[in-house]
Structure formats: C-alpha cells, structure tokens
Structure 1
Amino acid sequence: MHITITGNLGSGKSTICKILEDKYGFEIYSTGKVQRELARQMNITTLEMNQLMCSDHKYDNMIDDTTARISRENPDKNIIFDSRLAWHFVEKSFKVFLSVGLDIAAERVMKDNRGKEEQYSSIEEAKEKLFQRAQTENMRYKDIYNLEYFNFSNYNLVIESAYSSPELIASIIMKEAKDYYALIADNHGQMVDRTRILLSPKSLYKEEVTKEERNALKGRISEYEKIKELPNVQIAAWKDGDSYQVLSALEEVKAAKEAGVPFLLTALNIQ
C-alpha cells in the first residue's frame, strides 16, 4: 500500500507516520524534512522558505518530481508519504488528511523541538505564524497546481487528531486503508472516489452535556459504551473555520460524547 498523509500544521503527521513505520512496517518518505533542511541551509525560517517558494518554483518541482518517482519505482512496497501534496503526485494511494484546530495546533508546536526556525514566544504568536504559513502554502498550491489544499473531497479519509491518541488514529488509518484497497480490488483495480470524514464528538459539540440531558440519554449512552468500532450513524454538520454546527442527530452526538466515542462519521457543509 501507498498511503499519503497530509493535514493541518501541528496535526501530528510525523508522529502518526512513525507509528505506522514501527508497528506496521511502512517506509516513510517525508518532504517536510526536505523543505526544513533547505530553509536551514539558507539560514531562513520555514515561513520565509514558503514565501520564497511562491516566487521560485524550482524547489516545489524538485520535491514533487522526487515524490512521483519514488511511488512509480516502488509499486510493491508499503510506503507512507508524509507530504503536503503527495496525494496529488502519487498515482495510486490512500489519501489521508489529519485535521486539527488552530488552538490545539499552536499548543503542540510550542511544545515541539523543531529547531530555531520554528520557535515561538507565545501561543498567540504560534497561532498567527501557523495561520500565515497555512495561507501562504495554500496560495502557492493554488497558483502552481490550481489545487484547493483544504478541500476535504481531495482525500479518501479526513480524521481529526485533536482528542484521540496517535496510536488509535494510526490503527484507524490502517483499517480504513485496507477497506479502501479492498474496494479497489472489487472495482477491478480502478481507483474509487470516496471520502470519509471522522470527527470527534468533542469538536462537534463543545458545550457541557447537562445532567438532565445525560439522564434523558442514559440508554443511548449505554449502547454507545458497548461499541468497539465506529457507530452506525452519520452526522450532518456545518463547518465554519474551526467551529461546527450540528445539523442532524444532535442527541446522538451528545450521547457519543458522554460515552467517550472517539469519532463519528460526519457529512460536512463547509463555509
């Protein structure tokens, strides 16, 4: 299998890729390391490197050509591509997007040791710089490739990384990837256009569930507590930035949250 993993800055891509390498035997190809090393060699920040790449596309082309070549030359190897755009350049892959809100992303990068190029003096500075970097990268991808990086329909699996352990997320990615490759086999080797979005009930409903609500949902909560895999329910929600408004099955979201269900399959309308 070839699995391409991208996502929001600070979403935990490198950590999850390392688990997939250690536990499931995948090789990792990381273009982020290439970009950070280029910035270090030029004695500039990662954000400055992104801005430079907006005007000089030779760095993008170098990374993209290498990614495509590795995928073509290794069709029988299990490879994880930890890369912003590998989903576009790897011809046949299971495309994963890791989603995380800006507040949690900023907290994570503040704790990480990413070198002097990515050091921040406060959470607010981290949020501002992460937002700027994401905007810069998105503009560059649209300019060079006419791609909408944050359009979830580009991916086969969108999974939130804010409230679940990397180990759990890695195991779900593996299960979803195996299911997806089984669909391809059933489709005579042709790729399948399918997107599944898995979000945490904690993000879908951030308010506290009241005692009265919990009592009313007691039976449903008990049923959710018995579930070992994803519940057989799909939630509809509206996404605006980092916020969600549940459009259907709100009581199911509340019950799942109280039962500690990590993810719900969600259909999203995005602002």
Structure 2
Amino acid sequence: MIITLSGQPGSGKTSVAKELAAKYGFVIISAGEQFRKLAAERGMTLEEFGKLAENDPSIDLAIDQRQKELSKQFPNALVEGRLAGRTIEAEMRIWLKTPLRIRAERIANRENIQVHRAYDETHAREMCELSRYKKYYDIDLTDLSCYDLVIDTSKWDAKGVSSIIFKAIDELKKA
C-alpha cells in the first residue's frame, strides 16, 4: 500500500509518519529530508536553499523524481512531502494542516529557536513554496481537493492524529 502524507511545515508530518511506519511497517520516503540534506550539502539554510530553488526548478524536480522512483521500489511506503499527494500514485492521500501560530511554536521547540523567528521563517518558506509550486507545476497548495483525508492537527497530538489515520487505513484495507 502506498500512502502520501502532505501538509504544512510544523503540522506534524514527521511525527505522524513515524507512528504510521511503526504500526504498518511503511518505508518512509521524505521530501523534506532530501531537501534538508541538499541544503546542508551546499552549506545553506532552508530559507537560502528555498530561494535558490525559486530560480532553479531542477531542485524540486529532482526531489519529486527521486520520490516517484523510491515509491515504486517498496510495496508498503509512506511518501511524505508537500507535493507527494499530487505527484505520487497512492491508495490514500492525506493532508495535515494547522494554524501558523501553532506550527511556529512546534518548530521553535523542535529547533530550539525563538517563536517569532520560527514564525517568520516558516511564513517566508511557505510563501516561497507557494510561488515555486505555482510557477513550476501550476499547483495551488491551498487547493486540498485532491486529498482523501484532511486533518487539523491542532486538535490532537501525533498519536491522536495517527489514530484517525489508522482507522482510515484499516477501513481502506477492508474495501
């Protein structure tokens, strides 16, 4: 089974992906991890690398292509990334959303930075991605109509969100 898990930065994708992988044995294929590795290899912050990606479509296209290739290699994969639900053939597409204020608090705690800094950086990153994905793919990230399940993760922790997804996956497996 191939599942995609997409959502906003700080919405809980990584935490939920780990819960799903633990329960179902999914191999996690993460676009964000690949993006961070590429930024680190070039000695750049995520914001700097995002700005570079705005003018170099090969970065996003390479990550997308790699995810597509990897998802075909594993019969049980969870493909995690902002565009995964739009670019990967999957049995279920999930989007996690949360207000920016809450996501900034989560990111600040995770990265040990000030909340205002996390807020500003996350907002800048989102604006960069909205622009890039519209320009490169003609995708409007605010249109969630392609997703089978959209969850506001401000209402539950990772275990609670995962429980909702477990139920959806189990029901899908019965069908």
2:139 and 2:147 map into 1 onto residues whose CA distance is: 12
Given that 1:87 and 1:93 are in contact with CA atoms closer than 8 Å, whether structure 2 keeps it comes out as no
Match of 1:179 among 133, 146, 171: 171
1:96-135 → structure 2 map (5 Å cutoff): 96-113=94-111, 120=113, 122-135=114-127
Deviations 1:21-47 (A, max 9, x none): 112221111111111111111111101
Provide the rounded CA distance (Å) in 2 between the counterparts of 1:46 and 1:66: 19
CA distance in 2, matches of 1:102, 1:42: 28
Match of 1:168, SS state, is helix
Match of 1:94 among 89, 92, 95: 92
Paired position in structure 2 for 1:157: 149
Q: Which amino acid aligns with 2:66?
A: T
Structure 1 unmatched ranges of 5 or more? 114-118, 186-271
What amino acid is aligned across from residue 15 of structure 2 in structure 1?
T
Q: Secondary structure at the match of 1:159?
A: strand
Q: Is the 8 A contact 1:28 1:81 kept in 2?
A: yes
Shift of 1:88: 1.7
Look up the equivalent residue of 2:119 and give its one-letter code: K
Structure with greater helix share of residues: 2
CA contact (8 A) 2:19 2:159 kept: yes
Map residues 240-255 of structure 1 onto 2, 5 A cutoff: none
Q: By how many angstroms is 1:141 displaced? A: 0.5
Query: Whose relative contact order is higher, 1 or 2, with alpha carbons under 8 Å and at least 6 apart?
Result: 2
How much has 1:134 moved relative to structure 2? 0.5
Q: How far apart are residue 149 of structure 1 and its match?
A: 1.2
Segments of 5+ residues of structure 2 without an aligned counterpart are none
CA drift at 1:73:
3.5
Structure 2 partner of 1:250: none
Q: TM-score, normalised by structure 2?
A: 0.92
TM-score, with structure 1 as normaliser: 0.61
- Which residue does the alignment assign to 1:44? 44
Between the aligned residues of both structures, percent identity stands at: 32
| SS in structure 2 at match of 1:152 | coil
* Counterpart position of 1:53: 53
Whose Rg is larger? Answer: 1
* C-alpha distance in structure 1 between counterparts of 2:128 and 2:171, whole Å: 35
Deviation per residue, 1:100-136 (Å, 9 max, x gap)? 11111111111113xxxxx64x322221211111010
Assess if the C-alpha contact under 8 Å between 2:71 and 2:79 holds in 1: no
Q: How many residues align?
A: 175
Secondary structure in 2 aligned to 1:179? helix
Task: Quote the residue 2:65 is aligned against.
Answer: 65
Match of 1:147 in 2: 139
In the alignment, the residues of structure 1 paired with residue 146 and residue 54 of structure 2 have an alpha-carbon distance, to the nearest angstrom, of 22
